[in-house]
Structure 1
Amino acid sequence: MSFLQEIKNANALIVGASQGIGFGFVKNLLENNKITKIYATYRQPDSASELLTLADKYCDKLGTACAKGARHLTCLSMDITDESQIAEVVQKIRGDVTQLHLVINCVGILHDSSLEPEKSLRQINSENLMRYFQVNSIGSVLLAKHLLPLLRHKDRSVFASISAKLGSIGDNQLGGWYGYRASKAALNMFLRTVAIEYGRTSPKTIVVTLHPGTTDTRLSKPFQANVPPEKLFSVERTVTQLLGVIEHLQDNDSGKFFSWDGSQLPW
């Protein structure tokens, strides 16, 4: 039996829900009758217009009473690189509920106007490396630190972060993309270590990292030219596949790194 089937009224937190895979998770979970409350974080309102518009259709304020059977979507502003903002958001959620059952961190960075994956050592600089690690690695372990009280309960729960196959050291055959690869490898190590501590302090929580495959989002857009059509997933397909993996997790899967098809990836 999947862990959500065991829970009567589950609460979920999607971090980085303004677009892409995160927004896809929100839309999917709003259709799941096992999920009662969804908390969704975004960094900037101007990039979260669809999410905020969606929230207008649901109860979107902490403490608001919803009609029976209605989904409760609460949107919260948070920069995952700022620990004080993480602590503040978690405190707001704790003021509304005592438990979370599903947490998925979808925040990640590969490129933007001032950041590109490095093709060689000549392109490496410390500022860009720090940015990769702050967004792709450190944020997740800070979430695990502050969310522990909401995950430590008698029901099974899942804490998952979106990683990438490029973060697998054993699978690295091509090189390049130093900052992205290393920050995702660090994410995997952080959550492997979190899983060990959670095994003692929150033993009903399963901690995993997930490789979504190449998904048609802004993150992958500049690098899609050489991706075969059958290997480029829509957001909807990626979300469905990853939720399928999450639904079938067992207690002894905590601390592992899974691909979108449920196979375990090498570290």
Structure 2
Amino acid sequence: MKRALVIGASGGIGAALAAELETRDYAVTGLSRSVDGLDVTDAASVERHLGALEGPFDAIFVAVGTLADGGAPEKSLSAIEPAQMARVHMVNAIGPALVLAHVERLLPREGRSTVGVLSARVGSIGDNRMGGWYSYRASKAAVNQVIHGAAIEIGRKRKEAVIAALHPGTVETAFTAGYPGHSKVSPEEAARNLCDVMAGLERTQSGGFFDYAGKEIPW
């Protein structure tokens, strides 16, 4: 049986990804802060939890993130609060980087494997036409760079691994509850879309940034 790992498995999208992968005949291992005590912002916690795992995993999803660490996204430069900005970066960029440091060991040496890391379209510099949301945008741009670099590094030894940054769309979760004006999809639909995207990507697309329909997003 194929094996999958979901980091952030208790969140709205993470839980839906775990359930969707099970319908696709994966044996799923899930880790999260609320259930397992995994704190992706703490290197020792990441080492303890991921270091205890035995691979290989055919599919890995990293579904962790915060919008504004309990505050509100900044509408202007004057609203930036340094400590909050640092915390958003810790969760959205540094956390996934710490997780990705363990990924090569957890992937099979031979054969296709996939790693999808949740990002967001607002992390695209080329697509930014509205400004604002400085901490969230910057942290997602940062994690995109981490993912791209990880794909290059891991791909040197795991030749058939496909690693990608993923924009899931606006998903109906607690994360987006304060933004009623946006058109949203259910976590279940988002999970199906993301699994389909990762299943359809070619090895040559590793390191790319894709939306829920598999369309490439500009950096």
TM-score (norm 2): 0.96
- Aligned match of 1:22: 14
Equivalent residue for 2:100, pick from 144, 153, 166: 144
- Aligned match of 1:212: 168
Contact 2:110 2:158 in 1 (8 A): no
- Aligned match of 2:122: 166
- Aligned match of 2:28: 38
Contact 2:68 2:136 in 1 (8 A): no
Aligned mates of 1:207, 1:112 — CA distance in 2: 27
Contact 1:212 1:260 in 2 (8 A): yes
Amino acid at match of 2:51: Q
Q: Secondary structure at the match of 2:156?
A: helix
User: Deviations 1:58-103 (Å, cap 9, x if unpaired)?
Assistant: xxxxxxxxxxxxxxxxxx4301101111111122212xxx301111
Amino acid at match of 1:237: E
Higher RCO, 1 vs 2 (CA within 8 Å, ≥6 residues apart):
2
Q: What count of residue pairs does the alignment treat as equivalent?
A: 219
Amino acid at match of 1:111: A
Aligned mates of 1:152, 1:99 — CA distance in 2: 5
Contact 1:152 1:201 in 2 (8 A): no
Is 1:82 the counterpart of 2:38? The answer is: no
Equivalent residue for 1:129, pick from 68, 72, 85: 85
State, as a whole percentage, how many aligned pairs show the same letter: 35
Aligned mates of 2:102, 2:19 — CA distance in 1: 25
Amino acid at match of 2:104: L
Is 1:102 the counterpart of 2:71? The answer is: no
- Aligned match of 1:185: 141
Contact 2:109 2:157 in 1 (8 A): no
Aligned mates of 1:237, 1:176 — CA distance in 2: 28
Aligned mates of 1:166, 1:261 — CA distance in 2: 16
- Aligned match of 2:151: 195
Contact 2:58 2:108 in 1 (8 A): no
Flag as ranges the 4+ runs of structure 1 deviating above 3 A: none
Unaligned runs of 5+ in 2: none
Amino acid at match of 1:248: G
Aligned mates of 2:37, 2:31 — CA distance in 1: 6
Aligned mates of 1:175, 1:215 — CA distance in 2: 21
Aligned mates of 2:215, 2:201 — CA distance in 1: 11
Contact 2:69 2:87 in 1 (8 A): no
- Aligned match of 2:2: 10
TM-score (norm 1): 0.79
Q: Secondary structure at the match of 1:173?
A: coil
User: Deviations 1:108-144 (Å, cap 9, x if unpaired)?
Assistant: 000354x221111111121111111110011111111
Is 1:240 the counterpart of 2:196? The answer is: no
Amino acid at match of 2:121: K
Contact 1:111 1:219 in 2 (8 A): no
User: Deviations 1:16-61 (Å, cap 9, x if unpaired)?
Assistant: 111210010111122222x1x311111124xxxxxxxxxxxxxxxx
Aligned mates of 1:19, 1:142 — CA distance in 2: 19
Amino acid at match of 1:92: A
Is 1:175 the counterpart of 2:146? The answer is: no
Is 1:249 the counterpart of 2:209? The answer is: no
Contact 1:152 1:204 in 2 (8 A): no
Equivalent residue for 2:68, pick from 111, 115, 128: 111
- Taking the TM superposition and a 5 Å limit, the aligned residue runs for 1:55-94 are 76-94=36-54
